[in-house]
Amino acid sequence: MDGNINTFEKLLAECKISGKKIYEIMQEKEALDFEITIEEVRNKVRKNLKAMKSAILRGLNSKEKSYSGLCGDECYKLKERYNKKPALFGELFEKITMYAMATMEENLRMNTIVACPTAGSCGIVPSVITAVSEKDKIAEEEEINALITAGTIGYIISSKVAMAGAVAGCQAECGVASAMSAGAVVELLGGNSNQIIQASTLALKNVLGLTCDPVAGLVEIPCVKRNVFLAIHSITAAELALSDIESKIPPDEVVDAMLQTGQLMSPLLKETSKGGLAVTKSGIILNRKIMG
């Protein structure tokens, strides 16, 4: 195997040649590169998966506000409302939105979360994997397969684009997380490797140019709610891909477009809080209020 799998084309070729799934290729590569066993790789993933789930559980039962006082009670609001009137799209939708919100709220409370790929996008992959697995009673081993699949998607994208808002805007954080999550869902639902990669590509293609303009420079506005939106976004991508709908622009070219878009974006919109939402009238008032 070519040790340097850094494009989707190489990954897909490797799947075809070896007859293995994406997660199998990645766990073998990780074991080889770091001189550990596949079992050890999977146990590390298992530990992270468990930490993701405990963050969701804690978040579902908390209303504690963040240091800024701006956020922290919105998962509770969702829960209250769903109890009174169920979501239009049913229980799976309710769970994904609550789990994503719960995780991000735990993050801003300075509690324990798992960066996936970053802390500012930590709600997307865990909410989707957990909610879909609960719905279909999917076993933990398969959730681990899905999380490794998600990680592989992020691994390949980050070969070209650093996963940081300061480098390429939010497309590189929540955008990448939704691509990872879309691939994970297809894996959970038994899709093939091409469908997994297509799901990720479709998700990514639809968030190109997403800015990183947080109010007061905090991982709160718009980050918390954006995690909820992009978790649902990843399901749309997965549904399309599972229907064999493909991106007319090949996966690696979409990543190239993402890289170029990131480079073309003004630094004012890349985690500097000097543009966009951060400098709206209300954004500035909130900033003054928090910073004193």
Partner 1 sequence: MKQRSLFDVISPIMTGPSSSHTAGAVRLGILARNIYKEIPEKVTFKLYNSYATTGKGHGTDKGLLSGLLGLTVDSCDIKNIFELPLSKNIKYSFEYEQNIDRHPNAVDFILEGKINMVISGNSIGAGNVEITKIDDFSTKISGEYNTIILFYKDKPGMISKVSTLIQDENINIASLECDRNARGQTASMCICVDGDIPERLIKSTENIEDVYFVRNVKKLED
Binding region for partner 1 (CB under 8 A): 26-27, 30, 33-34, 41, 44-45, 47-48, 51, 66-68, 106-120, 122, 125, 147-148, 150-152, 154-155, 158-159, 162-164, 166-167, 180, 216-220, 271-273, 290-291
CA distance 20 to 12: 10
Compute the least distance from the CB of residue 247 to partner 1, in Å.
Answer: 21
Compute the least distance from the CB of residue 24 to partner 1, in Å.
Answer: 13
Between the CA atoms of 194, 236, 277 and 105, what dihedral angle is there, to the nearest 10 degrees? -100
Whose Cβ is closer to partner 1: residue 148's or residue 174's?
A: 148
Compute the least distance from the CB of residue 243 to partner 1, in Å.
Answer: 27
Whose Cβ is closer to partner 1: residue 185's or residue 240's?
A: 185
Q: Are 196 and 253 in contact (CB under 8 A)?
A: no
Contacts of 170 (CB under 8 A, 6+ apart): 120, 207, 210, 211, 212, 223, 226
Using left for φ > 0, alpha for ψ between -120 and 50, and beta otherwise, residue 65 falls in: beta
CA distance 288 to 292: 6
CA distance 104 to 225: 9
Whose Cβ is closer to partner 1: residue 94's or residue 106's?
A: 106
Q: Are 74 and 105 in contact (CB under 8 A)?
A: yes
Peptide bond just before 117 cis, omega within 30 deg: yes
Q: Are 176 and 158 in contact (CB under 8 A)?
A: yes
Contacts of 208 (CB under 8 A, 6+ apart): 171, 175, 254, 257, 258, 261
Compute the least distance from the CB of residue 40 to partner 1, in Å.
Answer: 11
Whose Cβ is closer to partner 1: residue 166's or residue 284's?
A: 166
Compute the least distance from the CB of residue 245 to partner 1, in Å.
Answer: 26
Whose Cβ is closer to partner 1: residue 132's or residue 163's?
A: 163
Whose Cβ is closer to partner 1: residue 50's or residue 81's?
A: 50
Compute the least distance from the CB of residue 151 to partner 1, in Å.
Answer: 4
Whose Cβ is closer to partner 1: residue 181's or residue 195's?
A: 181
270, β-bridge pairs:
212
Compute the least distance from the CB of residue 260 to partner 1, in Å.
Answer: 19
